[in-house]
Amino acid sequence: MSFVPQPTEVLLQNVRVSYCHLLEPWANSTQPGAKPRYSATILLPKTDVAQHQALMNAIEAAIQSARTKFGARVPAQPKVPIHDGDGYTQSGKEFGPECKGHWVFTAAQDASYKVEVVDLQGNPLTNPTQVYSGMYVNVLVRFFFYSNQSTGIGCGLGPVQKVRDGEALGSMPVAASSVFGAPQGSAANVYTGAPVAAGQPVQQQAAQQGYVQPAYATTPQQSVQQAPVGINPVTGQPY
């Protein structure tokens, strides 16, 4: 059975992602109190009129649903998360060159709910060299009303399906195969110089006497965010 989105949802096809934080939740350390979240900035070409209209319809559905539930708490013209990539950010800066000719918005999900990222066969993708800013994806997004430090329409992030590679935006991890080449039949023990058969573990030297591995503090589990705030379209962080 094919998936049928709700009125406030859109299943976007073949869009590019930037500021990709899909494998691990991320928080902007320059913003005090920012909670880690899964997020990605979505770039929709302005030439894709049909998908842009689907986004606007879903936003309007979210506004009408909020008015039914919250009445006068919903402004006459609530802030919406879709921005013109040929314009300026809320801080007055130009969007990056990758945003030119696109509609730009950020979708995010609380760190308590891991975002699924799969390939075209439905296999999970967990390698950062496969999931990166610049790739093209299908992605489910959901719009909702928020009322906290400000009010407006936010965008939730659902499952992501990678459809093809693209030019990486910013730096990305380097695959071991591109550095060391394909696996060889045998290798030398880096400690003794003696050959080692493929698949045989290398025996390491004993640790230095007196060395103690430092202990790391554990981070307490973040509670689910009850009410989202406004979303910065570039960083994916609340403001």
Residue range 146-198, pLDDT digits in tens: 998 889 999 999 999 999 999 999 765 666 666 666 666 555 554 455 554 54
The mean per-residue pLDDT over the stretch 204-209 comes to: 38
- pLDDT tens digits for range 100-126: 999 999 999 999 999 999 999 999 999
pLDDT for res 2? 84
Q: What band does 81 get if pLDDT is binned at 50, 70 and 90? A: very high
Q: How many CB atoms lie within 10 A of CB 21?
A: 23
The predicted structure's pLDDT at residue 235 = 53
Across the range 196-217, mean pLDDT stands at: 39
Where do we find the tokens 């935006």?
A: 169
CATH architecture of 9-164: Beta Barrel (2.40)
| Separation of alpha carbons 177 and 173, rounded Å | 12
pTM: 0.71
Tell me how many helices (H) and strands (E) the chain has.
2, 9
pLDDT of amino acid 91:
85
- Output the six-digit token pair for 142: 């959901």
Phi and psi based region of residue 210 (left: phi greater than 0; alpha: psi -120 to 50; beta: remaining): left
The answer to whether the CB of 147 falls within 8 A of the CB of 73 is yes
Give the domain ranges of the chain.
Answer: 9-164
> What tens digit of pLDDT does each residue of 34-62 get?
899 999 999 999 999 999 999 999 999 99
* Each residue's pLDDT tens digit, 25-34: 999 887 788 8
Say yes or no to pLDDT of 232 above 80.
no
51 close to 10: Cβ distance less than 8 angstroms: yes
Task: Tell me the residue ranges of DSSP E strands in the chain.
Answer: 9-26, 37-45, 83-84, 102-110, 117-118, 136-147, 151-164, 186-188, 195-197
Buried b (16+ CB within 10 A) or exposed e, 152-175: bbbbbbbebbbbeebeebeebeee
Q: What confidence score (pLDDT) does residue 215 get?
A: 34
pLDDT number for residue 150: 86
- Three-class SS of 140-161: EEEEEEEECCCEEEEEEEEEEE
Structure token digits, residue 71: 């009445």
